[in-house]
Amino acid sequence: MKILVTGGCGFIGSNFIRYFLKSYPNDDLINVDKLTYAGNLENLSDLSQSPRYYFIRGDITDAPRMEELIHKGVDAIINFAAESHVDRSIEDPSAFMKTNVFGTFVLLEAVRKVFSKQPIRFVHISTDEVYGSLGETGAFTEETPLAPNSPYSASKTAADMLVRAYHRTYGLPTVITRCSNNFGPYQFPEKLIPLMISNAIEDKELPIYGDGMHVRDWIYVEDHCGALDVVLHHGREGEVYNIGGRSERANLVVAQTILDRLGKPHSLIRFVTDRPGHDRRYAIDFSKIERELGWKPSISFEEGISRTVEWYLTHREWWKKIKTEEYLNYYKRMYENR
């Protein structure tokens, strides 16, 4: 089997590539990544000599390039490629519309053009943010109406609808997954958990939006990779599968847990002005994938946090290179201008 992964140098994509190559020693994998700010070649540098791993620098919005790659013959595409940070989408939505919407369209069109001779399974990686926000109770199911509240989630919703339409109209064998918040190794330190960990290690303030009581369902990235594995091989075509960790935590509790794990004072926490359209709570009902495909998470939030903190402690050079002056200035603007 030959798999084409888009956006494989990012956080979840790079973890999936490691998982896949380890789990399927007879399969090959092609990784196409544009290498924007969150795509880091160092995430997979140890695989550069593997005869089963091929890296190609490319943009999924480049239709001729994507068609050329797909026409050479792949059995499946897993589309991780996306602009994914809500704050950045609020500051400049244009890149999100181009990559997340038009890029997905380009890939689907390339698959459609060869579908009659070359059936290709298309797994589209989405997000629970397409569902909008929850109250104090309940959880998102696959039947929950889509109600995105940020330019990022709106772009992912549009992409989901394109994938659905290409299955219904052209019969493409597509599957959509919507996962809760991931954390683990190689996550770009603009996201909550790696930002909290790296700042705490350096005794810097931990910025928390609003009152800190925005709730997210957390899943360790290795568990997410396992879910994608079963969806790729056994998921029903045309279906949506929610993936969750059954680990709801308020952002403030997450920060406090990290500080406790590192032996740092809670006084490092600083509350900052909330961001526009900030969804209050997410929770995922993943009973469908558990019932149909037999998947459920195996790593608890506490174990995952311990693993993640340890990884960032032992890989300081990796994240210190990323925390450049440009990155720090970006966050200074984000937190001080609100």
Tens of pLDDT, residues 205-253: 999 999 999 999 999 999 999 999 999 999 999 999 999 999 999 999 9
Q: How far apart are CA 314 and CA 137, in angstroms?
A: 38
Least reliable range by pLDDT among 82-86, 130-134, 320-324? 320-324
Give the other-Cβ count within 10 Å of 8's Cβ.
29
* Partners of 215 in the β-ladder: 250, 281
Residue matched to tokens 């896949």: 20
Question: 128, 217 in Cβ contact below 8 A?
Answer: yes
Q: 335, exposed or middle or buried, with CB in 10 Å at 0-12, 13-18, 19+?
A: middle
Residue 334 clears pLDDT 80, i.e. is over it:
no
For residue 122, give the nearest of 161, 170, 85, 173 by alpha carbon. Answer: 173
Q: How far apart are the first and last CA of the chain?
A: 49
pLDDT score recorded for residue 52: 94
Domains of the chain, first to last: 2-180+220-243 (3.40.50.720)
pLDDT score recorded for residue 328: 52
Q: Which of 33, 59, 129, 248 is catalytic?
A: 129
Q: How far apart are CA 80 and CA 182, in angstroms?
A: 13
Rounded to an integer, what is the distance from CA 75 to the centroid of its chain?
22
Tell me the average pLDDT of the chain: 93
Judged by DSSP in three states, 221 sits in helix
pLDDT score recorded for residue 326: 52
Please report which confidence band the pLDDT of residue 45 belongs to, taking 50, 70 and 90 as the band edges: confident
Catalytic, 220? Answer no
Residue 123 clears pLDDT 70, i.e. is over it:
yes
Question: 251, 272 in Cβ contact below 8 A?
Answer: no
What mean pLDDT is predicted for residues 118-129?
A: 95
What mean pLDDT is predicted for residues 26-43?
A: 89
Please report which confidence band the pLDDT of residue 338 belongs to, taking 50, 70 and 90 as the band edges: very low
Total residue length of the chain: 338
Question: 210, 173 in Cβ contact below 8 A?
Answer: no
- The alpha helices in 39-183, defined as continuous H runs, are 63-71, 86-91, 94-96, 103-114, 151-170
Q: Which of 59, 83, 128, 248 is catalytic?
A: 128
Higher-confidence position of 136 and 106: 106
Tokens of 315: 């890989």
pLDDT score recorded for residue 223: 98
pLDDT score recorded for residue 330: 53
Question: 249, 301 in Cβ contact below 8 A?
Answer: yes
Question: 101, 155 in Cβ contact below 8 A?
Answer: yes
What mean pLDDT is predicted for residues 90-116?
A: 94
pLDDT score recorded for residue 30: 96
Least reliable range by pLDDT among 94-103, 315-324, 327-336? 327-336
Catalytic, 129? Answer yes
Residue 154 clears pLDDT 60, i.e. is over it:
yes
Q: 36, exposed or middle or buried, with CB in 10 Å at 0-12, 13-18, 19+?
A: middle
DSSP, residue by residue, 170-201? H---EEEEEE-EEESTT--TTSHHHHHHHHHH
248-299: pLDDT as tens digits:
999 999 999 999 999 999 999 999 999 888 989 999 999 999 999 999 999 9
For residue 60, give the nearest of 109, 122, 123, 104 by alpha carbon. Answer: 104
Residue 94 clears pLDDT 90, i.e. is over it:
yes
Provide the percentage of residues in the chain whose pLDDT is more than 70: 96
Catalytic, 128? Answer yes
DSSP, residue by residue, 242-304? EE--S-EEEHHHHHHHHHHHHT--GGGEEEEPPPTT---B--B--HHHHHHH-----S-HHHH
What mean pLDDT is predicted for residues 191-218?
A: 96
Least reliable range by pLDDT among 109-118, 150-159, 220-229, 238-247? 109-118
Question: 121, 75 in Cβ contact below 8 A?
Answer: yes
Put the strands of the sheet holding 53-57 in their side by side order. 53-57, 28-33, 2-6, 76-79, 121-127, 174-179, 240-243
Provide the percentage of residues in the chain whose pLDDT is more than 90: 81
Global pTM value: 0.92
Give the other-Cβ count within 10 Å of 326's Cβ.
8
Q: Which of 131, 152, 209, 241 is catalytic?
A: 152
pLDDT score recorded for residue 329: 57
Rounded to an integer, what is the distance from CA 50 to the centroid of its chain?
25
For residue 87, give the nearest of 166, 190, 189, 167 by alpha carbon. Answer: 190
pLDDT score recorded for residue 285: 97
